[in-house]
């Protein structure tokens, strides 16, 4: 499945969350969960390392610590996130975003 088909948005966190920002200004991405999108869907929020986020902004891990991913590419079409994105146990999806492909 392509990331572009999951209604992705790049985000900045500045008190409130700004949507539709450019990739070079983005601090996070969210997109529809590739597993849950046919039912009661939800967004997957992934925040980027090295983009100036405070620890209490953006995605948070299960242990209450900030979770950050290395991001590369130029936009939705070729985005790569490392490491994998693990939504368990709140949803079954644990997968990868590699070169714009969600697996």
Binding site for Zn ion (CB under 5 A): 33, 35-36, 91, 93
In the numeric block, which tokens belong to residue 4?
């572009």
Which residue, 78 or 86, has its beta carbon nearer to Zn ion? 86
Handedness of CA 83, 84, 85, 86 (dihedral sign): negative
Please answer whether residues 23 and 10 qualify as being in contact, where contact means their C-beta atoms are separated by less than 8 angstroms: yes
Nearest approach, Cβ of residue 78 and Zn ion (Å): 24
Nearest approach, Cβ of residue 53 and Zn ion (Å): 23
Which residue, 12 or 59, has its beta carbon nearer to Zn ion? 59
Nearest approach, Cβ of residue 90 and Zn ion (Å): 7
The residues, any chain, with a CB within 8 Å of residue 17's CB and separated by 6 or more, are 11
Which residue, 21 or 87, has its beta carbon nearer to Zn ion? 87
Beta bridge partners of 71: 81
């Amino acid at each position: 499945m392509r990331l572009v088909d999951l209604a992705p948005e790049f985000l900045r966190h500045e008190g409130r969350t700004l949507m539709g920002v450019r990739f070079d200004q983005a601090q996070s991405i969210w997109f529809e969960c590739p597993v849950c999108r046919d039912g009661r869907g939800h967004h997957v929020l992934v925040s980027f390392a090295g983009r100036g986020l405070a620890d209490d902004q953006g995605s948070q891990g299960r242990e209450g610590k900030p979770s950050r991913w290395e991001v590369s590419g130029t936009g939705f079409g070729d985005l790569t996130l490392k490491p994998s994105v693990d939504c368990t146990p709140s949803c079954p999806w644990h997968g990868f975003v590699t070169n714009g492909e969600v697996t």
